[in-house]
Structure 1
Amino acid sequence: MRTKKQKIFLIAKIISVLFVFIIIALFVFRDALLQKTIVQISHKMESDYDSNFSIRKAHFEGITGVEMEDVLLVPKKADTLFRIETLKTKINFWHLLTGTIQIEKLEAKNGFVQLVKNKKGRNFDAFLPKKKDTVDTGEKTNYARLVYKILNRTLNLVPTDMHLENLTLRMDDMGKKATLSLKKLQLVDKQLESTIRVQTNTFIQNWSIKGFADPRNKQTDIRFFNVDTGKIKVPYFDERFNIKSSFDSIRLNVSKIDMDSGELHVDGFTTITNFTINHPKIASKDVVIKNARFDYQFLFGENFIAIDSNSTAQLNALKFKPYVSYNNETDKIYTLKIAIPKMKAQDFISSLPEGLFTHFYGMEAAGTFDYKLDFMFNKNKPNAIVFDSKLNKENLKITKYGEANLNKLNGEFIYRAIIKNVLQRPILVGQANPNYTPLNAISPYLRKSVLTTEDPSFFSHKGFITEAFRQSIAKNIRTKKFSRGGSTISMQLIKNAFLTREKTLSRKLEEILLVYILENNRIVSKERMLEVYFNIIEWGPNVYGIGEASQFYFEKSPDQLTLNECLFLANIIPSPRNFMYQFNSEGNLKSFAVNKEKYLKNIMMRRGIIIPDDTINQMPIYVSGRANSFIKTEIKDTIQIDSTSIEEFSF
């Protein structure tokens, strides 16, 4: 009788013999299995992807090493997608036994991947994920497990010993070309070094990547920079999206990827120096960020993805704590929180990116402030939006203005509108202009009508209406475009008096900051702001200010305007150059325009802004001024001529 210990030893011996037998069998038949696998892959590529796949020569080296020559993938009726002359790889044997593919070594030489889009189509379409009809099982994705699985598989495919030479990525998008030629890349003893040549239709550069890379311990610290003089230019995007961007260097650090108590933590930092970007939707000039750093802590849970509030973002001297999350545990909720700790106002101004806030050049400020933003959007309840913005200041004041000198609103100045980058005629804002109209010389009906349509709480708010911002954000998210702005009269005044009408990120950000400074530093009284507003806004084609508008439409002075005329003028402010389309061929307001006036009148009645007596004896508006020439009317012949009279004058 064998003892228990002897039985265990015997079983272990049998297993070891079987293991050796399996290894020998694999070693003997492995080349046949390799060729069979290649044939199966080739059939699959042809049947599923309509492509030809071939390997001219393939064989094993050692137990887990494979060497291949002339690997080729060509979609039928399209350009070659992939080709490589020599490919050698070695897989970790022990991980292979557990069903995990982990590459230990990779050598590749002389090859290319090319992505082509032309009139015939794209040569990679067959390999893009296809939309499938899915059945909602009610099961939610566990984000932590999914991302951890993807990261593990990806990092296992990164070899610890890598030598790449003369490999090229080619992109041709309808003639927009970019070629990235990897002259050399090697990863030895966790040290990464590479040289890349970049060529497009517009420039040629040589880049380099150097640093530390340890895929098995999930850590890296690499730097990306230009070997030549000058900045690194980002290829392809300039021609494809009209985005011109460049930078001196980028550093990427990943210090930890760890699953803990069902949550995945990814920590590290990234930096960029002298980042420059230019796009018509951002600003009219180059936007430059000299130094930026992001110390990140990404969190992935069962039901959420987040940038943790322990993360820190730095923009020049400005530092702030961001928190961004998406949570679908119950509803789909998006959250954004930003906290700027106490800092000097001058440091904030000095940290603004060049080119994004041109009207702040030369501005100086004293005092300190801190700021908090709390934003939350529930996709299932889009109207229950949270938008809470708080700024705490200490002795905050502007000691010197930049290009936008807000003090000019208190005196006479020349106003020139800019429309489609064309400077319009000069308008003197002051008593020397015969069309200039003081606030007390403007019909009270017009003041009431315009305040009702444009900014009912103008005299009580400080430049912004929080609820309007909430509604604006909610609508913009729903429509997936900037369809509503929520501008106050203060914002319109700043936009007209100091900024252009271009719809850029720069212009909107400058508008917000200038309005805050204007309203919170008591630079200009509300009455003066409203008076200037009435005297500079556009009220028709080449018509500026209420003095010109009242004559242009009704040949009256602003204090003589009737209620209906004021309702009309208030309603055309959003699109004054198109006022003529509100009239029919007989010169009367169309039904939709009449209904707009009635709607505005009813709002003013409900709010007690006007009373029933104000509406008595109100006549329909009659355009008698120069505006009448813009209205397309039909002239009717009202003279009746008797045929007998014609005969009397006949000869």
Structure 2
Amino acid sequence: MRTGKQKIILASTILIVLFTVLISVFYIFRNAVLQQTIAKVSNTMEIDYNSTFSVKKASFDGFSTLNLSDVVLAPKNADTLFKIQKLKTSINIWKLLIGDIQLGTLNINNGFVQLTKKGKIRNFDAFIKKDKQTEIGKEKRDYAEFAYRIISKALNLVPTDMVLDNLSFRLDDNGKKATINFQKMRLVDKQLETSIRVQTNTFTQRWKIKGFADPRNKKADIRFFNIDTGAIKVPYFDERYNLKSSFDSIRLNIQNIDRDGDELHIDGFTSIKNLKVNHPKIASKDVVIKNARFDFRFLLGSDFVSVDSTSIVQFNKVKFHPYVAYETKKDTVYKLKVAIPKMKAQDFISSLPDGLFTHFQGMEAQGNFDYNLNFSFNKNKPDQLVFESNIKKENLKITKYGEANLNKLNGEFIYRALIKNVLQRPILVGSGNPNYTPLNQISPYLRKCVLTTEDPSFFSHHGFINEAFKQSIIKNIKTKKFSRGASTISMQLVKNVFLTREKTVSRKLEEILLVYILENNRIVSKERMLEVYFNIIEWGPNVYGIGEASRFYFQKSPSELNLNECLYLARIIPSPKKFMYQFNDQGMLKDFAIKQESFLTNIMFRRGLLSPDDTIYQSQRIIISGSARSFLRIKTQDTTQVKIDSLSVDEEFDL
């Protein structure tokens, strides 16, 4: 009778013997297994991906070192995807026996990986389509488990020791080319060093990657910089997207990748120096961020992916805590929170990226502030969108203005509209201009109509309407495009007087900040803002201000305008140069314009802005009597035909 201890010893002995047998069998038949594996991969590439995979020579060197030569993967009827002349690697047998592939060492000599697109044919399409098809019908993904599995497999394929010589990554997008050639890459004793040559249609540079890399313990600290003088230019994007960008250096530090229960944590930081970006949709100038750093903590669970609020983003002297989340537990929910702790206002202004806030250069401020943003969007319940933006001020005051001197709104100034980068004729905003009209000399009907169409809560808000922002975001998300804005009269005034009409990120950000300063520092009264607005906005082709508009359309002064005329002027503000399309060939308002007028009148009735007495004469039709009439396409009556018809009548009755 064997004891428990004897049974354990016996079982262990049997396992060791079996394992030894397996290893021996593997050693004896390893080359045959290798050839069989290559044939299997080749068959899979042929059937599933319509591609040819071939290895000219493959053999084992010793127990676990594998030698391959002329390894090629080439899709049929497309360019070769990759080709490697010589590859030598060692494989961890223990990992292999449990189904994992973990590389020990790797040597590659002379090879390339390339992605090409010629016309509509891409040499990687078959592999993308296959990936999409395999996703169909899958159950809901566990994000933490999936990410950890992918990261582990990817890091297992990174060898502990590596020597690469002349390995190129090529990109050819219908002639837009970029080649990144790793002339030398060494990973020895966890120390990484590379020598890289980059060549595109527009520039050639030499880069270097250097630092610490420990794939088995999932840690790294690497730096990316330029060997030559000057900044590193980002290839391909300049030709493909007209996005020019460069930087002096990048550092990436991975401190921890760890799965704790159902959650995956990824901790580290990345930093960049002198990031420069140029794109016509961002700004008209180079945007420069001198120093930026992101201390991150990514959290992944079974039903969420997030950037934890303990993360810190820093650019220049500004620091804030972001929280970004994508959740799928019940509904698909997107969340964004930003918290800027109390900081000096001057530090914020001086930290604004060069080129992005040009109108703030030279501005000085005193006091402190802190800021919080809370945004949440439920894809299945879009109308429940959350948008909260709050700033707390502490003795905040602007002591010196930059290029945009908001104080000029309080006095006379010259206004020149900028349309398609062309300055229009100068308009004097002040009593020296005979067309300038004080607010109290503008028809009350026009004030009511314009406020109703453009900004009903103008006299109560502080530059922005949170509800309007929410509805704008909801509609833009639903339509998947920027189809609705949330512009107030304050925002239109700032845009017209101080900024341009260019649709860039820079202009919109400057507009938001300038409006906030204007409205929250009591620089200009609401009445003065509205008066300036009425006297500068475009109301037709080369028609600026209500003084010119009332005469251009009706040969009247602004105080003489009746309700119908005011309804008309308020409705054409969004597209004043297209006013002529409101009228038919008889010079009468078209049906759609009459319906718009009726709709606007009903809104004003409901809001108590109009009474029945105001509309007694509303049935009177609009008569364009000013020089605007020459823009209408009115049919002229055929006087010859009238005379002929008259003669026929006379002859018939012998008159």
TM-score scaled by structure 2?
0.96
Query: Using the alignment, how far apart are the partners of 1:289 and 1:644 within structure 2?
Result: 81
Aligned to 2:584: 584
> Following TM superposition, by how much is the alpha carbon of 1:136 offset from its aligned partner in structure 2, in angstroms?
5.9
Pair 1:75–1:140, CA change in 2 (3 A): closer
> Following TM superposition, by how much is the alpha carbon of 1:13 offset from its aligned partner in structure 2, in angstroms?
3.0
Map 1:200-211 → 2, pairs under 5 A: 200-211=200-211
Query: Using the alignment, how far apart are the partners of 1:376 and 1:162 within structure 2?
Result: 46
Match status 1:411 vs 2:407: no
Pair 1:412–1:7, CA change in 2 (3 A): closer
Q: Deviations over 1:19-42 (max 9, x none)?
A: 222222211111111112212222
Aligned to 1:66: 66
> Following TM superposition, by how much is the alpha carbon of 1:3 offset from its aligned partner in structure 2, in angstroms?
5.2
Query: Using the alignment, how far apart are the partners of 2:135 and 2:351 within structure 1?
Result: 49
Map 1:138-153 → 2, pairs under 5 A: 139-153=139-153
One-letter code of the match for 1:385? L
The secondary structure found in structure 2 opposite 1:38 is helix
> Following TM superposition, by how much is the alpha carbon of 1:313 offset from its aligned partner in structure 2, in angstroms?
0.7
Aligned to 1:324: 324
The secondary structure found in structure 1 opposite 2:643 is coil
Match status 1:628 vs 2:629: yes
> Following TM superposition, by how much is the alpha carbon of 1:54 offset from its aligned partner in structure 2, in angstroms?
1.1
One-letter code of the match for 1:16? I
> Following TM superposition, by how much is the alpha carbon of 1:5 offset from its aligned partner in structure 2, in angstroms?
4.2
One-letter code of the match for 2:540? G
> Following TM superposition, by how much is the alpha carbon of 1:347 offset from its aligned partner in structure 2, in angstroms?
0.2
Query: Using the alignment, how far apart are the partners of 1:644 and 1:59 within structure 2?
Result: 108
> Following TM superposition, by how much is the alpha carbon of 1:116 offset from its aligned partner in structure 2, in angstroms?
1.2
Query: Using the alignment, how far apart are the partners of 1:297 and 1:8 within structure 2?
Result: 45
Query: Using the alignment, how far apart are the partners of 1:170 and 1:55 within structure 2?
Result: 21
> Following TM superposition, by how much is the alpha carbon of 1:133 offset from its aligned partner in structure 2, in angstroms?
8.6
Match status 1:12 vs 2:9: no
Query: Using the alignment, how far apart are the partners of 1:370 and 1:7 within structure 2?
Result: 70
Query: Using the alignment, how far apart are the partners of 1:546 and 1:77 within structure 2?
Result: 66
Query: Using the alignment, how far apart are the partners of 1:457 and 1:7 within structure 2?
Result: 86
One-letter code of the match for 1:267? D
Map 1:530-569 → 2, pairs under 5 A: 530-569=530-569
Map 1:378-389 → 2, pairs under 5 A: 378-389=378-389
Query: Using the alignment, how far apart are the partners of 2:645 and 2:585 within structure 1?
Result: 30
Map 1:35-50 → 2, pairs under 5 A: 35-50=35-50
Pair 1:3–1:349, CA change in 2 (3 A): closer
The secondary structure found in structure 2 opposite 1:240 is helix
Match status 1:246 vs 2:246: yes
The secondary structure found in structure 2 opposite 1:129 is helix
> Following TM superposition, by how much is the alpha carbon of 1:485 offset from its aligned partner in structure 2, in angstroms?
1.2
Match status 1:602 vs 2:580: no
Map 1:438-453 → 2, pairs under 5 A: 438-453=438-453
Q: Deviations over 1:240-264 (max 9, x none)?
A: 0010000000000110111113111
Aligned to 1:270: 270
Aligned to 2:282: 282
Pair 1:199–1:306, CA change in 2 (3 A): same
One-letter code of the match for 1:235? P
Aligned to 1:641: 643
Map 1:485-504 → 2, pairs under 5 A: 485-504=485-504
One-letter code of the match for 1:504? T
The secondary structure found in structure 2 opposite 1:132 is helix
Query: Using the alignment, how far apart are the partners of 2:430 and 2:173 within structure 1?
Result: 56
One-letter code of the match for 2:643? I
Aligned to 1:132: 133
The secondary structure found in structure 2 opposite 1:641 is helix
Q: Deviations over 1:42-79 (max 9, x none)?
A: 22212222222211110011222110011112222222
Query: Using the alignment, how far apart are the partners of 1:5 and 1:427 within structure 2?
Result: 102
Query: Using the alignment, how far apart are the partners of 1:134 and 1:86 within structure 2?
Result: 34
Pair 1:643–1:258, CA change in 2 (3 A): closer
> Following TM superposition, by how much is the alpha carbon of 1:14 offset from its aligned partner in structure 2, in angstroms?
3.2
The secondary structure found in structure 1 opposite 2:246 is strand
**Deviates further, 45-54 or 415-424:** 45-54
> Following TM superposition, by how much is the alpha carbon of 1:119 offset from its aligned partner in structure 2, in angstroms?
2.4
Q: Deviations over 1:285-333 (max 9, x none)?
A: 0000000011111111121111111111101000111111111111111
**Deviates further, 166-175 or 32-41:** 32-41
**Deviates further, 354-363 or 23-32:** 23-32
The secondary structure found in structure 2 opposite 1:128 is helix
Pair 1:72–1:608, CA change in 2 (3 A): same
Percent identity, aligned pairs only, is 68
Query: Using the alignment, how far apart are the partners of 2:11 and 2:313 within structure 1?
Result: 60
Query: Using the alignment, how far apart are the partners of 2:129 and 2:105 within structure 1?
Result: 29
Pair 1:314–1:623, CA change in 2 (3 A): same
Number of aligned pairs?
Answer: 647
Pair 1:641–1:19, CA change in 2 (3 A): same
The secondary structure found in structure 2 opposite 1:239 is helix
Q: Deviations over 1:389-442 (max 9, x none)?
A: 111111111100000000100111110111111111111111111111110111
> Following TM superposition, by how much is the alpha carbon of 1:140 offset from its aligned partner in structure 2, in angstroms?
2.6
Aligned to 1:291: 291
Pair 1:278–1:102, CA change in 2 (3 A): same
Aligned to 1:110: 110
One-letter code of the match for 1:532? V
Pair 1:643–1:515, CA change in 2 (3 A): closer
Pair 1:189–1:565, CA change in 2 (3 A): same
**Deviates further, 276-285 or 23-32:** 23-32
> Following TM superposition, by how much is the alpha carbon of 1:641 offset from its aligned partner in structure 2, in angstroms?
2.3
Pair 1:449–1:60, CA change in 2 (3 A): same
One-letter code of the match for 2:336? L
Query: Using the alignment, how far apart are the partners of 1:385 and 1:624 within structure 2?
Result: 48
Q: List gaps (5 residues or longer) in structure 1.
A: none
Aligned to 1:261: 261
Pair 1:36–1:605, CA change in 2 (3 A): same
**Deviates further, 639-648 or 61-70:** 639-648
Aligned to 1:162: 162
Pair 1:626–1:133, CA change in 2 (3 A): farther
The secondary structure found in structure 1 opposite 2:229 is coil
The secondary structure found in structure 1 opposite 2:637 is coil
The secondary structure found in structure 2 opposite 1:374 is strand
The secondary structure found in structure 1 opposite 2:309 is coil
Pair 1:608–1:9, CA change in 2 (3 A): closer
**Deviates further, 115-124 or 314-323:** 115-124
One-letter code of the match for 2:272? I
**Deviates further, 69-78 or 125-134:** 125-134
**Deviates further, 103-112 or 75-84:** 75-84
One-letter code of the match for 1:428? L
One-letter code of the match for 1:621? I
Map 1:289-438 → 2, pairs under 5 A: 289-438=289-438
Match status 1:34 vs 2:48: no
Query: Using the alignment, how far apart are the partners of 1:203 and 1:171 within structure 2?
Result: 15
TM-score scaled by structure 1?
0.97
Pair 1:3–1:460, CA change in 2 (3 A): closer
Pair 1:300–1:2, CA change in 2 (3 A): closer
One-letter code of the match for 2:227? V
Query: Using the alignment, how far apart are the partners of 2:382 and 2:417 within structure 1?
Result: 37
One-letter code of the match for 1:412? E
Query: Using the alignment, how far apart are the partners of 2:27 and 2:94 within structure 1?
Result: 15
